[in-house]
Amino acid sequence: MPTSHQLRQQEQHDKKLRELREQVAAGKLVIRQMTAEERKKFPPRDTGDRARRAKRR
C-alpha cells in the first residue's frame, strides 16, 4: 500500500502532467522531435543505472 508521501508525489505528478497537456492543447507549448544533432548531443540515458540508484535509497 502506498504511503501518504507517495500518494502526494503521485498527485503532484498527475497535476503537472495535466497542466502540460492543457498548455499543449491551448497552443502555449509545442512538443517537437529532436534533430539528429540534438540527439547526438543529448543521448538517451541508460535506464539500468537509474533503476540501480533507486534501489539504494
The Cα–Cα gap between 30 and 13 comes to 20
Please write the tens of the pLDDT for every residue from 13-24: 999 999 999 999
Please write the tens of the pLDDT for every residue from 31-48: 999 999 999 999 998 877
| Predicted pLDDT at 46 | 81
Name the maximum alpha-carbon separation found in the chain: 44
For residue 2, what are the contacts with CB-CB under 8 A and spacing of at least 6?
10
| Predicted pLDDT at 52 | 62
